[in-house]
Structure 1
């Protein structure tokens, strides 16, 4: 699966309390939802750290291969432990592997030159973000993925009614007339989408 190509939008419900709980229980729909939301973020991390699109997609694939094998190991032993931080650590490790392999495979670049390239890895992959807006950028990527997930999980008129009223701020009567719906149906569509957003955001692991 190439994580920059989001063509699946799994929406099946589950009785487990959170998305991460369902993934740990090997719920296939929950796993696809996790990949849909977090796959583009992993890909974004890889591109941010200098990988070309194909290499970034390959490393993202490796990250999720590790994730599916290690998901049961994730624990919140400390207050600052988060799923996103854990996923970032896995990605960082896979990026280090990628750069080390690249350093070894560069023709004619051995000895001290290769060592210098390896020594650059900690600078390419800092342990903590070097800019205060990194977390905001990551959250933006996640938010966009959730928007896309919700948009593709409802019918087009429902999304249009929500967008026109809730985002564009247009009068309900005008939207109802344009979409051929009753005002009550427009209100219902708006709150249905809002409820879906709350469900998706509430289910995302911290």
Structure 2
């Protein structure tokens, strides 16, 4: 895995999004970004017709590109982070297919045909269109929850999980965990606020 990008500045502000913390040279944030988005990139590679081994290679290449360019990422100019990441991944997949086709065909003929390779993958790959993509988005949220889970006390996490994931009424959660309803609501709010920060660049 490529090293995290280096920067002279640092920030301990918990109000920064995940990408913002990476841009501020937070090494732990870089690892979290890799852990969070790595499976998504790998899935895109497999759906793009790559073998498991090639999809893993593309994932490494994507993170190398991200590490080099992350400081220039501006959501105001480029849109949400997932869209930017998708563009990088799509181009890496396309480059891989071009290279593979050139090797398979060999010679100048294959080289000349590279220019004809489509600029975009099939239309069903549209970011929010397919059931597969919706499944990937759900998986992304679940990974984010698992990654932030250890940042909270067990009771705080349980209050959030029972309230939000299992949709248990606040009064029932409070009774089960021996907490007041207000404590349950506060715990739920703290975890949701953190989850939104982790995924703010994605949405």
Deviations 1:97-140 (A, max 9, x none): 2112222333xx44698579857842872489458614962643
What TM-score, normalized by structure 2, do the two folds share? Answer: 0.70
Q: What CA distance in whole angstroms lies between the structure 2 residues aligned with 1:31 and 1:146?
A: 14
Q: Report the CA distance shift for 1:169/1:68 in structure 2 as closer, same or farther (over 3 A).
A: closer
Residue 141 of structure 1, CA deviation: 4.3
Q: Report the CA distance shift for 1:69/1:112 in structure 2 as closer, same or farther (over 3 A).
A: closer
Which residue in the other structure is 2:140 paired with? 142
Q: Report the CA distance shift for 1:73/1:169 in structure 2 as closer, same or farther (over 3 A).
A: closer
Q: What CA distance in whole angstroms lies between the structure 2 residues aligned with 1:157 and 1:197?
A: 17
Asked if 2 retains the 8 angstrom alpha-carbon contact of 1:164 and 1:175, the reply is yes
Matched, 1:160 2:153: no
Which residue in the other structure is 1:4 paired with? none
Asked if 1 retains the 8 angstrom alpha-carbon contact of 2:40 and 2:140, the reply is yes
Residue 57 of structure 1, CA deviation: 1.5
Asked if 2 retains the 8 angstrom alpha-carbon contact of 1:49 and 1:125, the reply is yes
Deviations 1:121-178 (A, max 9, x none): 4287248945861496264343333233233433444322222233323344544454
Which residue in the other structure is 1:95 paired with? 93
What TM-score, normalized by structure 1, do the two folds share? Answer: 0.69
Q: What CA distance in whole angstroms lies between the structure 2 residues aligned with 1:118 and 1:40?
A: 29
Q: What CA distance in whole angstroms lies between the structure 2 residues aligned with 1:81 and 1:164?
A: 33
Which residue in the other structure is 1:5 paired with? none
Q: Which runs of 5+ in 2 are unaligned?
A: 2-10
Residue 68 of structure 1, CA deviation: 0.8
Which residue in the other structure is 1:104 paired with? 102
Which residue in the other structure is 1:56 paired with? 55
Q: Which runs of 5+ in 1 are unaligned?
A: 2-12
Which residue in the other structure is 1:66 paired with? 65
Which residue in the other structure is 1:8 paired with? none
Residue 64 of structure 1, CA deviation: 0.5
Q: Report the CA distance shift for 1:26/1:94 in structure 2 as closer, same or farther (over 3 A).
A: same
Q: Report the CA distance shift for 1:62/1:131 in structure 2 as closer, same or farther (over 3 A).
A: closer
Residue 70 of structure 1, CA deviation: 2.0
Asked if 2 retains the 8 angstrom alpha-carbon contact of 1:172 and 1:183, the reply is no
Q: What CA distance in whole angstroms lies between the structure 2 residues aligned with 1:183 and 1:38?
A: 36
Alignment size in residue pairs: 191
Q: Aligned-pair RMSD on alpha carbons? A: 3.8
